Structure 1
Amino acid sequence: MFNRTTVLVLVAALAAGLGLWAAQTFTGPRADAGPTLETVRLLPQARDIPPFSLTAADGNPLTLEQLRGRWTLVFIGFTHCPDVCPTTLAELGQAEKRWSAALPEDARPRILFVSVDPERDSPERAGEYARYFSANALAATADIPTLEHFAKSLGMVFMKTPLPGGSDPEAYTVDHSTQVALLDPQGRFAGLARPPLSPAKLGDDMATLAGAAR
């Protein structure tokens, strides 16, 4: 089993690798121009991601096919998260109000919260948590291999980390990526938004992208 020092070194290495990848990949708005964006960074070329099947809050499968047709903002986390998760979901909820005021209902982007802590978060619990921040939020989870496959396809990582001195099997946290991944209406990985998020700027960017897709 990894001790905490080893885990932290691994997490730091993963974070550094992702940072380098992001710096090389996300160089700002795409040169093929399109709309000017303030906080969202688009890939030079949207990327297909492998099919997946998560378990949604209502117990039914959530697949890539079901996310086609609109922009989707994907955030991974867990309901016991003390800071990043509630902050990010609150910011996404505020941004949603902004884009909802600018777009018809059938064009509005969706928020998808994916719990990477299936030991403690049932699909239903994940859904209740996400809807606290946005009444329209989607939520899902899955077994660890499925979650790892899904997260990797979006350039994200997560890792269960025991808390120091804890004998309780639930005395752990989950280190995870903090960016928000964007799926375009074709279900492709198209870009990301990294914290700290500006709800107003993110809301305007998503309204611009969704409006351009119509």
Structure 2
Amino acid sequence: MFNRSVLIVLVVALAAGLGLVASQQWFGRESAPAPELAAVRLFPQPRELPPFALQQSDGTQLVPGELHGHWTLVFLGFTHCPDVCPTTLADLSRAQKEWEPLPEAQRPRVLFVSVDPERDSPDRIGEYAAFFHRDTLAATADIPALEDFARSLSLVFMKAPGPEGAPADAYTIDHSAALAVLDPEGRMAGVVQGPLDPAAIAADLIALTGAPAR
């Protein structure tokens, strides 16, 4: 027969084991494992963005709270861009078509930010972005605000003169080709580097929303 001491030890061990199982089940429900991603590289910890205010194509302000509730891909560019910008927005439009069936409240967003306010009015960037996909958000600001915003996303841009003898407005802009990834709390959560794979981007963003794979 078990003596009293052995019986107490067994009861304590059994209680501890049941507690471990219960805690694993509970915390498993609370924090699902992160999805495996092919195109999006998430940071170990997302970081808060400093305050910013951009002007959207419809004339309203884009402030941090406007980006809450959705996963968002941010791309810096300009409408006179000869290659990288139209190619990137075309690739993103293919990804956007993949997640169109998601409910609007769950659907990821694409934000195109023009870093050429001298030539890109809000109306112009709105038309340019919508040409690729109707859901693409477009915004710009003055140069100091754009520099602060880009820096907060670890992105860069710089005005570069055009060919010698060209008109003053024939300049170009060197800018990051990477996409910043913002989480539904508007924090910098990751990055997408080129070359872009629209199908992989779409699959990753759909997975991050928690929607079933299509």
Specify the code of the residue in structure 1 equivalent to 2:120.
D
Counterparts of 1:3-22 in structure 2 under 5 Å?
none
Quote the residue 2:5 is aligned against: none
Quote the residue 2:54 is aligned against: 54
1: CA distance, partners of 2:191 / 2:97: 19
Quote the residue 1:115 is aligned against: 114
* Cα deviation digits, residues 64-97 of structure 1 (max 9, x gap): 1111011111000000000000000011110011
SS of 2:82's partner is coil
Asked whether 1:93 is paired with 2:98, we answer: no
Specify the code of the residue in structure 1 equivalent to 2:204.
D
Q: Normalization by structure 1: what TM-score?
A: 0.82
Q: Identity, % of aligned pairs?
A: 59
Quote the residue 1:8 is aligned against: none
The CA deviation at 1:134 is 0.9
SS of 2:55's partner is strand
The CA deviation at 1:167 is 4.2
Q: Which structure has the greater CA radius of gyration?
A: 2
* Cα deviation digits, residues 161-193 of structure 1 (max 9, x gap): 001213411010000000010110000000011
1: CA distance, partners of 2:163 / 2:209: 45
Quote the residue 1:14 is aligned against: none
2: CA distance, partners of 1:191 / 1:39: 10
2: CA distance, partners of 1:94 / 1:46: 27
Counterparts of 1:58-207 in structure 2 under 5 Å?
58-101=58-101, 103-207=102-206
2: CA distance, partners of 1:67 / 1:39: 21
Q: Which runs of 4+ in 1 moved over 2 A?
A: none
2: CA distance, partners of 1:88 / 1:192: 14
Q: Aligned pairs, how many?
A: 180
C-alpha RMSD over aligned residues: 1.2
Q: Normalization by structure 2: what TM-score?
A: 0.82
Structure 2: 5+ residue runs without aligned partners? 1-31
Structure 1: 5+ residue runs without aligned partners? 1-31
Is the contact between residue 69 and residue 105 of structure 2 (CA under 8 Å) also seen in structure 1? no
1: CA distance, partners of 2:163 / 2:33: 49
